[in-house]
Amino acid sequence: MMDNDKIYDITIIGGGPTGMFAGFYAGLRNAKTQVLESLSELGGQVATLYPEKTILDIGGYPQIKGRELVSQLEQQLQTVDTEVKLNTTVQNVKQVGDEFKIVTNQGSSMSKAIIIATGVGAFNPRKLAVDNSEEFEGTNLFYSVKDLGHFTDRTVLVAGGGDAAIDEALLLESVAKQVYLLHRRDKFRAMEHSVDLLEQSKVEPVTPYLISQLDHDGQQVKITAKKMKSDEEKTMNVDDIVVNYGFIAQDDALAGWDVHPEGSRGKINSGISGKTNVKNVFTIGDVADYDTKQALIATGFGEAPQAVNAAMSSIYPDRRGPVHSTSMKR
């Protein structure tokens, strides 16, 4: 089915936090905009991987839960006319004259500019390298904390040593009976602030160990962990294991697209204001790559208005650009 009546000014591909904010900002510019998201919900990594985590580095929010941030972004997006299409995966983008044909699993549409905000594309957790781990998945073994209530008064072992693992351990500490944090190194690789919080908490570090075996023990899991660079082993019984070894992302979210801006390792080279090497194709958020790029929500929030304004200047060169959303009159 082809949506012929409408040619969008801007199509935003990806409804993570960056795409959502870009969708709102494009609405402020009165751009005819659609946000296409392949999942059944908005919010990208925040909604799918860490809805319960408390985020500390969003300007204006001393702290905010992932789920709450997504809800605020949704409310903000609803204040403008931007269309949101869920369960809509972009499968191809073709150049048709000066415009783009966006081909999705739900049909196609035309757009004057596109902003690619596909983040890390489809991603899957890096799994625990233990033969029978799948037997425990969903009952005692988890790769993210979706329902904090499940862990109330339980004994939980978090495996991993980065920021996300520490955040999860601290979050679980608020409800669990006991939390262990198992890492294969002696030191944790996380923000100094998180490590300080960990040291002040009741989370018990188990280092330097690596999980080598899991066994059922009644309702619990018996973990065998091997000490690094040694033959020493330790066993411990816990109710749940939460593994945070990071995520494996799809190599190229744009695979098979006719319009394929330059980039490498699944990222798109971004110039100033999110410009790519293809005219009227912009990129923002985790997928956009340039020197000094930090893959953070705040970074994406900064990139979004720049790309929207650059897109609008390019497709409507005679329109006056914005200064800010409200203006002060003397």
Ligand X SMILES: Cc1cc2nc3c(=O)[nH]c(=O)nc-3n(C[C@H](O)[C@H](O)[C@H](O)COP(=O)(O)OP(=O)(O)OC[C@H]3O[C@@H](n4cnc5c(N)ncnc54)[C@H](O)[C@@H]3O)c2cc1C
Residues found near ligand X in the complex (CB under 6 A): 13-19, 36-39, 44-46, 49-50, 55, 57, 89-90, 117-121, 164, 247, 253, 285-286, 295-298, 300
CA distance 26 to 43: 17
Pick the closer one to ligand X by CB: 121 or 302.
Answer: 121
Q: CB 233 → ligand X: shortest distance, Å?
A: 29
Answer for the pair 236, 180: CB distance below 8 angstroms, yes or no: yes
CA torsion sign for 153, 154, 155, 158 is negative
Which tokens go with 6? 């409408």
DSSP per residue over 64-106, as a string?
A: EEHHHHHHHHHHHHHTS--EEE-S--EEEEEEETTEEEEEETT
Q: CB 45 → ligand X: shortest distance, Å?
A: 4
Q: CB 38 → ligand X: shortest distance, Å?
A: 4
Q: CB 89 → ligand X: shortest distance, Å?
A: 4
Pick the closer one to ligand X by CB: 37 or 173.
Answer: 37
Helices and strands, counts by H and E, the chain? 6, 21
Pick the closer one to ligand X by CB: 90 or 225.
Answer: 90
Which tokens go with 235? 């066993």
Pick the closer one to ligand X by CB: 39 or 195.
Answer: 39
What pairing do the DSSP bridges indicate for beta strands 90-96 and 2-13?
A: unpaired
Q: CB 284 → ligand X: shortest distance, Å?
A: 7
Which tokens go with 72? 């605020």
Pick the closer one to ligand X by CB: 47 or 238.
Answer: 47
